[in-house]
Amino acid sequence: MIQQIKNRGTLGEYDWSGYDTAKSALDAIVSGTDQAAAGTNRLAQVVENLGSIYTEVSAKAGIAESTNTATVRTQRQQEHLANIYRQASESIRNNPKVQNSYLRGELEDIMKRAANPGDSDSVEGLQRDLAAARKSMEELGLTSENLGQRLTRLFKDHFNTAVAMAGLHLLQNSLQQVLQNVVDVDTAMTDLKKVSDGTAQDYANYLDSAADRAKNLGASMTDVIGATSEFSRLGYNLEDASNLGDWATKYMNVSEYTNIEDAAQSLVSTLQGFHLSADEVGSVVDRFNEVGNNYAISSQGLGEALKRSAAALAAGGNSLDESLGLITAANEVVDLCHAA
């Protein structure tokens, strides 16, 4: 073991003659020579010296490693202390109500101990003291809201949708869109009242159901109300106009029509031409869609053809189904002629 220590590096400053003397004495004892007794005495004398050398050499051999570890530990501790100092300082500076509170003294004491920690001051202890001071500030209402905190509180108090989490910019745009939608709906309702004769309660009930109907139809409330107005303008009561408007919206969605007015006009022409009731509008849309899906003519093409000829075809004794058959056949003949 001693030889290992001797070989550990540049340790020439130590007197290693004691090691050589001890080794000779030990050899004499082991060999049983006359010098064994004297060797035992010499061995006892040098063992104590070698022990102290071993302790000192071992400490020096590991001093570099321990010094590096201590340096890293000290740097980290200083970073933690600086962070505690900064947080305590900001707690005083950013919260004016703390200025005249006893908590200012506590925070300043934490700053002082973080800047010049005593033997009893640890990072963990200072962090606990800072957390306790901040909690007391909140409980006493001494904290000041910044803009972000104020918006968050308002969102929680007044909104229950994802809009509240979208940020101020998105919220502003969303509110502007909501406002525009309200204006559009109000305008559409005003137009509906001009062409219909419902009571205030009738319009209130209609508006209550319009949102759900719009959702089911995949349309806006303005479009749904506008479709109802189209049929009210043609003389249908509010209930029938509402039903016809919903079917016109469905018809527009499955056809090539791009506006509700044209879709509504083709349905009205068909209903009136064949003397059908408003309740039968669903079967008309279904027929248009069925033929358009199976033959070389679109549902819009059928509607446009009947808009021009429904009355004449009905007067000639043709039913709606017969008329659809005639229009489809005629369309195929025209297509063949064009192909030729």
Residue 95, pLDDT score:
80
Residue of 254, 182, 180, 190 lying closest to 217 (CA atoms): 254
101-115 burial, b at 16+ Cβ within 10 Å, e below that, comes to bebbebbeebbebbe
Residue 61, pLDDT score:
47
pTM over 0.75: no
Measured CA to CA, the distance from residue 306 to residue 198 in angstroms comes to 31
Q: Is the pLDDT of residue 153 over 90?
A: no
pLDDT per position as a tens digit, 252-283: 888 888 888 889 889 999 999 999 998 999 99
Give the least confident one: 109-118, 178-187, 234-243, 263-272: 178-187
**Segments making up each domain of the chain, as ranges:** 2-61, 64-139, 168-339
Q: Is the pLDDT of residue 63 over 50?
A: no
Share of the chain above pLDDT 90, in %: 18
Q: Which tops the pLDDT comparison, 235 or 46?
A: 235
Residue 65, pLDDT score:
46
Residues 6 or more apart whose CB falls under 8 angstroms from that of 59 comprise none
Cβ-in-10-Å burial (0-12, 13-18, 19+) of 233 comes to: middle
Rounded to 10 degrees, the C-alpha dihedral 121/126/128/133 comes to 130
